[in-house]
Amino acid sequence: MTTANFLIRNAIPSDAKYLNRYLRSIFAESRHLVTKPEEFKMTPFQQRVWIKRKAANTHEICIVALHGKSILGVLESATDRRARTRHVTTFSMSVHPDHRGKGIGQELLNTYTGWVSEHNQLSKVELHVHSDNAIAIHLYEKAGFVIEGRRKDAIKYKNERFVDDILMAYWPNSSNVEINMEQ
């Protein structure tokens, strides 16, 4: 498959079965996502309801990359609706291991940050990334995200191995953000 062969759009209810299968496999494959496969309990039916709720929520979005009906990647956002924090949105994303390095992650992220910049109430994007996830950190920095914090040893892998949780942020409509923090 070449990069020309994928489509990016918002998730729709008929994606539910494919998205559910995709998420189950990605949680089994990637240590860089917090959820472990046995912790992912959503059924395809519940996934359908989840997609409908996301679509109805004006502050959240679920974007998928597809080839036919197969899900190649997904980005889903979440927003705290309380008044003091509802200008901030956060997200998590992944691309299927067979389709990484083809620009899908970048395209998902561009679509999302474009959506945020058009949104009249969202002004800041935040994310969490494991400190050993160099590829994702590179992708986010290239998109304009900056590191604004670090939670030491917040992630535990097998054999009592810990890594840090890096907090990154992006202000889509501000060209002049400078954060000076020791990394």
Ligand X SMILES: CC(C)(COP(=O)(O)OP(=O)(O)OC[C@H]1O[C@@H](n2cnc3c(N)ncnc32)[C@H](O)[C@@H]1OP(=O)(O)O)[C@@H](O)C(=O)NCCC(=O)NCCS
Q: Does 93 bind ligand X (CB under 6 A)?
A: yes
Which of 78, 83, 59, 66 lies closest to 11 in space, CA to CA? 66
Point out the residue whose Cβ comes nearest to ligand X: 105
State the minimum distance, in angstroms, from the CB of residue 120 to ligand X.
27
Q: Which stretch binds ligand X (CB under 6 A): 17-25, 129-137, 146-154, 157-165?
A: 129-137
Among 57, 103, 113, 148, binds ligand X (CB under 6 A): 103
In 16-134, beta strands by DSSP E:
62-67, 70-79, 88-95, 124-130
Nearest to 109 by CA among 81, 85, 145, 134: 145
Of these, 19, 139, 155, 169, which contacts ligand X (CB under 6 A)?
A: 139
177 binds ligand X (CB under 6 A): no
Structural contact between residues 124 and 87, judged by C-beta atoms closer than 8 angstroms: yes
Could you tell me which of 27, 127, 15 has the C-alpha nearest to residue 77?
127
Cβ–Cβ under 8 Å, residues 95 and 104: yes
**116 near ligand X, judged by CB under 6 A:** no
Instruction: Determine the Cα–Cα distance for residues 30 and 95; give it in Å rounded to an integer.
Output: 10
Instruction: Provide the mask over 28-67, with x wherever binding to ligand X is found by CB under 6 A and - wherever it is not.
Output: --x-xx----------------------------------
Give contact residues for ligand X (rule: CB under 6 A).
Answer: 30, 32-33, 92-95, 100-106, 129, 133, 135-136, 138-139, 142
